Amino acid sequence: MITITKQQNGTIMSAVIGGHIDAETSPEFYDAFSGALDSLTELTINIKDVDYVSSAGLRVFILLYKTMKAHNGKLTICQPQQFVSDLLESTGLTSYLCIEP
């Protein structure tokens, strides 16, 4: 299960995600943002309540990053739990993603 709460102000969107980001929920996670990505300059996703991320979830982070970058936008991931932070670090995604504690 995943929960997604979004707020948009012009070209800036922020979201709070909770639950699992896995093969079952990653399409919903991506779809929550895909329609707006072309018009965004900033996307900030707070994942403090995410308690599991699978490779499918990592793929969504990569897709969001690539799409935002292609439109000269910025993706920021905020407040990952320690295990998610460790996962992002071990996969090398911290080299690309802006991660804020």
26 located within any domain: yes
Tens digit of each residue's pLDDT (9 = 90 or more) over 16-70: 999 999 999 999 999 999 999 999 999 999 999 999 999 999 999 999 999 999 9
What tokens does 27 get? 């399409």
> Number of folded domains in the chain?
1
pLDDT computed for residue 59 by the predictor: 97
Q: What is the pTM of this model?
A: 0.94
Residue 71 counted as domain residue: yes
Task: Give the CATH number, domain containing residue 40.
Answer: 3.30.750.24
Phi-psi sector, 92: left (phi>0), alpha (psi -120 to 50), beta? left
Range of the domain at 48: 16-100
Report the relative pairing of strands 74-78 and 42-53 from DSSP bridges.
parallel
Q: What is the pLDDT of residues 86-96, one digit of tens each?
A: 999 999 999 98
Tokens of 6: 């979004």
- How far from each other are the two terminal CA atoms of the chain, in whole angstroms? 24
pLDDT of 37 reads: 93
Q: Count CB-CB contacts under 10 A for residue 64.
A: 22
